[in-house]
């Protein structure tokens, strides 16, 4: 049995037990390359470091899933959504994969892939937490974008901008093959959602934020105060799913991502967010998404290498790495 090096006792999961789902999926948006993000992070040694440096017992099938077998022959737009049946089928499968780990009491790490996959990751975690602990799940969504567009409110039709709306019930669909598989056990309460890092919010999304009075923390408070506010709002008795889009970081630190926005978090601020969630003892799952090594604005792959390193750093901090 390996010795987990984190000194933080976890409240809702077994210490040192980590389930990993590697999701090579890009169908929630239009830019190729985000599907190879998980492989790039794994090839850089991420899982090895989690085992050897942090002492995790890693449960992984040694596969980066492409889900190509789930792609239908025909997938026309529906309600303005692009690839609706594909994204629905893939996220349903991801939900099942995450659930299988979470029901065993493991922390679940999902490497993406675009942020549409959070429909699967969060729904799977939420279902397991309800069954295993009879508790509601809280989500800390770290992102430059709110991703709470409804299909009708979206300008692009890309589902990676809609996962929060489907998870909270703001967007609903009865068709089983277009997210109708989402049931009450999969859902997230609007009162259990915290945003950090927002800076590129659509007009429709701004109205949603105002209407529902979301906790949307920003940097004017300083990152220490932001985390104090976020964790204080959630409380100490609620399991947390941390969903981290690498575009929350400033492009200086993570240039190789599909929708970079200037004015973002520093890498140290991102690491600090992940550290704080881990140190709360309440984290049950983490997503790291939107690393796209093919979108390299640098020379000799410097930009993509930096982004992969940043993603790996965020994961390690979320799973207990510290300076001491």
Active-site amino acid positions? 115, 143, 145, 147, 160, 245, 247, 290
> 233-250 burial string, b = 16+ CB within 10 Å, else e?
bbeeebbbbbbbbbbbbb
DSSP for 163-205 reads HHHHHHTSS----IIIIIT--GGG---GGGEEEES-----HHH
**Side-chain half-sphere CA neighbours of 66 within 13 A:** 7
Cα radius of gyration (the chain): 18
Beta carbons of 245 and 289 less than 8 angstroms apart: yes
Beta carbons of 108 and 37 less than 8 angstroms apart: no
Q: How many residues make up the chain in this entry?
A: 324
In 3D space, the residue among 195, 155, 194, 154 whose CA is nearest the CA of residue 171 turns out to be 154
- Virtual torsion, Cα 238, 17, 248, 71, nearest 10 deg: -100
**Side-chain half-sphere CA neighbours of 246 within 13 A:** 33
Helices (H), 67-117: 84-102
C-alpha 57: how far from its chain's center?
21
Beta carbons of 90 and 28 less than 8 angstroms apart: no
In 3D space, the residue among 235, 189, 244 whose CA is nearest the CA of residue 212 turns out to be 189
Question: Distance between CA 243 and CA 121 in Å, rounded?
Answer: 9
């Amino acid at each position: 049995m390996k010795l987990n090096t984190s000194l933080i006792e976890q409240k809702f999961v077994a210490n040192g037990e980590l389930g990993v789902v590697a999701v090579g999926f890009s169908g929630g948006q239009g830019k190729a390359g985000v599907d190879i993000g998980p492989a790039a992070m794994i090839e850089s040694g991420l899982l090895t470091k989690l085992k050897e440096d942090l002492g995790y017992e890693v449960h992984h099938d040694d596969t980066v899933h492409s889900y190509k077998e789930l792609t239908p022959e025909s997938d026309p737009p529906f309600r303005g959504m692009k690839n609706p049946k594909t994204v629905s089928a893939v996220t349903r499968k991801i939900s099942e994969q995450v659930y299988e780990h979470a029901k065993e009491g493991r922390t679940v790490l999902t490497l993406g892939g675009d942020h549409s996959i959070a429909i699967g990751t969060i729904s799977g975690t939420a279902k397991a937490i309800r069954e295993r602990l009879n508790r509601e799940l809280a989500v800390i969504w770290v992102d430059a974008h709110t991703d709470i567009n409804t299909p009708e409110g979206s300008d692009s039709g890309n589902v990676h901008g809609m996962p929060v709306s489907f998870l909270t019930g703001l967007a609903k669909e009865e068709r089983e093959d277009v997210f109708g598989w989402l049931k009450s056990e999969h859902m997230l309460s609007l009162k259990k959602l915290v945003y950090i890092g927002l800076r590129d919010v659509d007009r429709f999304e701004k109205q949603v934020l105002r209407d529902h009075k979301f906790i949307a923390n920003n940097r004017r408070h300083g990152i220490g105060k932001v985390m104090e506010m976020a964790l204080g709002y959630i409380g100490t008795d609620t399991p947390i799913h941390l969903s981290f889009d690498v575009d929350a970081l400033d492009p200086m630190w993570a240039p190789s991502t599909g929708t970079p926005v200037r004015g973002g978090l520093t890498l140290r601020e991102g690491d600090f967010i992940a550290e704080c969630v881990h140190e709360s003892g309440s984290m049950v799952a983490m997503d790291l998404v939107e690393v796209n090594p093919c979108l390299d604005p640098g020379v000799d792959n410097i930009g993509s290498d930096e982004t992969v390193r940043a993603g790996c750093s965020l994961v390690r901090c979320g799973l207990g790495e510290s300076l001491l």
